[in-house]
Amino acid sequence: MASQTKAPEGAETKKVGKKSQPKRGIKNPFIYGGTVVILVITVIAFVFIPSMGGGFISPTAPSFGSWDGKSITYGADSYFASQVAQINDYLRQQGLSEQNFQLYAYQVWNMAFQSTAIRMAIIDTVEDSGFKVTEKGLDEAMVNNESFFVDGSFSLEKYNSTPLSTRLSLRKTARDDLFVRRYYEDLFTIAPSTAEVGFVAAMAKPKRTIVYAAIPMADFPKDQVKAWAQNNADLFRSLGISRVTVTSSEDDAKKILQQVKENKLSFEDAAKSHSQDAYADKGGDAGTVFYYSFAQDFSDPTGAEKVANLPKGELSEVYKLGEGAWAFFKINAPLSSADLDKGSTLDEAMAYIQEREKGSLESWAIAKANEIISSSDPEAFKRNAAKAGYAIKNAGPFIINLGNPSFYAYNQQMSLLQLPYPTGSQELLAAESNEAFMTELFSLEKGKVSKPLVVDDAVVVFSIADDTPASDEDTSFVKFGYPYFHQESVDSQTRDTFLKSKKFKDEFSATFFKIFQAPQAKATSEKTQTEKETPSN
């Protein structure tokens, strides 16, 4: 069967699926504010870096890593740059909503960086195999290059008028493209055996419908929430704070703090002019926060306790907050004991349990489930569940389809196994990716009751209501689609192999954030220097 995967030339680019006060802290003060931050990042990503101006640290193209000692740099006419543009265009066409944009530029650039590394690895691999590109082959590629077309055909006059450096660059790109094309031509000749295709198609044969009951973890009793909160009351103490977060350097943070201490700069003005977090526009006022959310930002937990115990109006020292951020604080309201008679505090405790102590919820729900399956008889299970107040529901038919694998062909994404889960049951939406659930579903004897299974935010117990095989017609699409899925899987595995190779050196994050922070660091430094030189009123 002919390959329907993406053409080798572009194969390196993958197509990519209210609480009351006190407030919870922002886990990463460097990233905030959605639209504002993305506007800044996008300007840097698509304007500032290509121009290499505006106070950039180095006059040379930035290096994000290397492949086998060869630096992967960004230049205006580089493959890296073309990938940034292509991936950016693709993601914009997907109509991503605003909440997806916080790390938009980072994702675009990282994908482009990895694509560039993979391309370099492919070229080296093919070259090491002994494959050669002839001058005749390169000449033919240049004749077909639309850069030299006039009225739809190759123009020798336009070719000759193009600067030699540009022609040589295009010729090198054409050579590299031919290496990549050869790699994918060889890769896509690897086809699954008839036996393998038949085995996968057989996975779609068994179909099972179930009768089930679900115990939502959200039903965790309020008295148990309060008991848990009482045992962990220190987490829900509260305090009022303002903060200034600096991402340029610890020294810069200390200099700004010193200006505040010497009354050369008010705390509020320091936050508005220097802070890089969500509270800057409010003069640093973070409101009243729970102690656990305040403490989670600190690299050293003892620092959080020291700050929290300062008296009202006191300034803290500078503390490190995770990677690349430092902060100092002002106490607006002193630390107070947890008010566990307040509904908002108990709501916060429940949110904390759901996010960080889910095992407690699971243990409770499993215990409740065991109460309704004291007998392995399905009818007794249904009676017990109804008596305990849990609705008995039907779902299915299911097939063996863990993770709902898909493949790309004919310009669209298709599911390999064409029977999706025909259930609107909220409790089972995560079942397709739950290995324990799928294993129990297709190993349980008919007439028996399953063990309690954690599926997303509920514990589910079920028995088999119906067990029928799919027809050959139902599985015919799997036989058609599996070779495409196999090709895509081989491609993905080879990419992973390259990216895990010792030849690949990834310095992307350090370089990206150095570039992102460079203008801010320079502005902060210049502003601080100006304030030093300007006499205070």
What CATH number does the domain containing 275 carry? 3.10.50.40
For position 359, what pLDDT does the model report?
A: 92
26 and 138 fall within a common domain: yes
State how far the Cα of 178 lies from the Cα of 136, in Å rounded to an integer. 12
Residue 255, token pair as written in the block = 């200099």
State how far the Cα of 150 lies from the Cα of 212, in Å rounded to an integer. 68
126, 182 in Cβ contact below 8 A? yes
DSSP state of 388: T
425 and 516 fall within a common domain: no
State how far the Cα of 18 lies from the Cα of 494, in Å rounded to an integer. 44
Number of domains in the chain: 3
For position 38, what pLDDT does the model report?
A: 35
Residue 454, token pair as written in the block = 């954690």
Give the C-alpha distances (Å, rounded to integers) separating 483 from 195, 266, 489, 500: 12, 67, 10, 26
pLDDT(221) > 90? yes
Name the band, by pLDDT with cuts 50, 70 and 90, for residue 347: very high
- H or E element at residue 440: helix 435-441
Per the domain annotation, does 197 fall within a domain? no
| Mean pLDDT lowest among 110-119, 264-273, 485-494 | 485-494
For position 233, what pLDDT does the model report?
A: 95
Average pLDDT, the chain: 81
The pairing of strands 206-216 and 458-469 is: antiparallel
| Mean pLDDT lowest among 3-7, 312-316, 396-400, 456-460 | 3-7
Per the domain annotation, does 488 fall within a domain? no
For position 418, what pLDDT does the model report?
A: 64
- Residue with tokens 């004897």, as numbered in its chain: 445
For position 472, what pLDDT does the model report?
A: 79
Single-letter amino acid, residue 154 = F
% of the chain residues with pLDDT over 90: 47
Query: Could you say which of 454, 469, 484 is where a domain stops?
Result: 469
- Cα torsion 328, 334, 339, 343: sign: negative
Name the band, by pLDDT with cuts 50, 70 and 90, for residue 26: very low
Name the band, by pLDDT with cuts 50, 70 and 90, for residue 103: low
State how far the Cα of 154 lies from the Cα of 330, in Å rounded to an integer. 70
Query: Could you say which of 292, 315, 338 is where a domain stops?
Result: 338
- 528: β partners: none
Mean pLDDT across the stretch 214-229? 93
Name the band, by pLDDT with cuts 50, 70 and 90, for residue 25: very low
State how far the Cα of 453 lies from the Cα of 459, in Å rounded to an integer. 5
Q: For residue 475, what are the contacts with CB-CB under 8 A and spacing of at least 6?
A: 201, 202, 204, 205
pLDDT(534) > 50? no
Mean pLDDT across the stretch 380-393? 90
269 and 363 fall within a common domain: no
Who has greater pLDDT, 211 or 92?
211
Name the band, by pLDDT with cuts 50, 70 and 90, for residue 46: very low
Burial of 119 (0-12, 13-18, 19+ CB in 10 A): buried
Q: For residue 472, what are the contacts with CB-CB under 8 A and spacing of at least 6?
A: none
Model pLDDT for residues 211-220, shown as the tens digit of each residue: 999 999 999 9
User: What ranges in 301-399 are assigned the alpha helix state H?
Assistant: 301-308, 343-356, 358-372, 378-387
Look at residues 53, 33, 64 and name the one whose alpha carbon lies nearest to residue 514: 64
70 and 161 fall within a common domain: yes
Per the domain annotation, does 484 fall within a domain? no
Per the domain annotation, does 351 fall within a domain? yes
- Residue with tokens 């407690």, as numbered in its chain: 360
185 and 306 fall within a common domain: no
State how far the Cα of 328 lies from the Cα of 317, in Å rounded to an integer. 6
The pTM of this model reads 0.60
Mean pLDDT across the stretch 170-193? 89
Per the domain annotation, does 485 fall within a domain? no
Q: For residue 494, what are the contacts with CB-CB under 8 A and spacing of at least 6?
A: 187
List the beta strands (DSSP E) in 263-349.
Answer: 285-290, 319-320, 326-336
Name the band, by pLDDT with cuts 50, 70 and 90, for residue 282: very high
φ, ψ (nearest 5 deg) of residue 130: 100, 0
293 and 378 fall within a common domain: no
Name the band, by pLDDT with cuts 50, 70 and 90, for residue 269: very high
228 and 158 fall within a common domain: no
Look at residues 416, 486, 393 and name the one whose alpha carbon lies nearest to residue 193: 486
pLDDT(205) > 60? yes
Look at residues 94, 93, 75 and name the one whose alpha carbon lies nearest to residue 84: 75
Mean pLDDT across the stretch 277-296? 93
338, 359 in Cβ contact below 8 A? no
DSSP state of 443: T
For position 516, what pLDDT does the model report?
A: 65
For position 421, what pLDDT does the model report?
A: 55
Look at residues 173, 156, 157 and name the one whose alpha carbon lies nearest to residue 165: 173
- H or E element at residue 118: helix 104-128
368 and 326 fall within a common domain: no
30 and 70 fall within a common domain: yes
Name the band, by pLDDT with cuts 50, 70 and 90, for residue 273: very high
- H or E element at residue 474: helix 472-499
Query: Could you say which of 338, 363, 395 is where a domain stops?
Result: 338
State how far the Cα of 385 lies from the Cα of 380, in Å rounded to an integer. 8
Who has greater pLDDT, 434 or 519?
434
For position 210, what pLDDT does the model report?
A: 92
pLDDT(407) > 90? no
66, 72 in Cβ contact below 8 A? yes
17 and 155 fall within a common domain: yes
Model pLDDT for residues 467-519, shown as the tens digit of each residue: 888 777 778 888 888 888 988 888 889 999 999 999 999 999 888 887 765 44
φ, ψ (nearest 5 deg) of residue 140: -65, -40
Rounded (5°) CA angle 89-511-180: 55
Domain with 302, as residue range(s), is 222-338
Mean pLDDT across the stretch 25-44? 37
State yes or no: cis peptide before 50, omega within 30 of 0.
Answer: no
176 and 115 fall within a common domain: yes
Q: Which of 23-27, 373-377, 516-520 has the highest mean pLDDT?
A: 373-377
For position 529, what pLDDT does the model report?
A: 45
The four Cα atoms 74, 79, 82, 88 give a dihedral, to 10 degrees, of: -70
Per the domain annotation, does 154 fall within a domain? yes
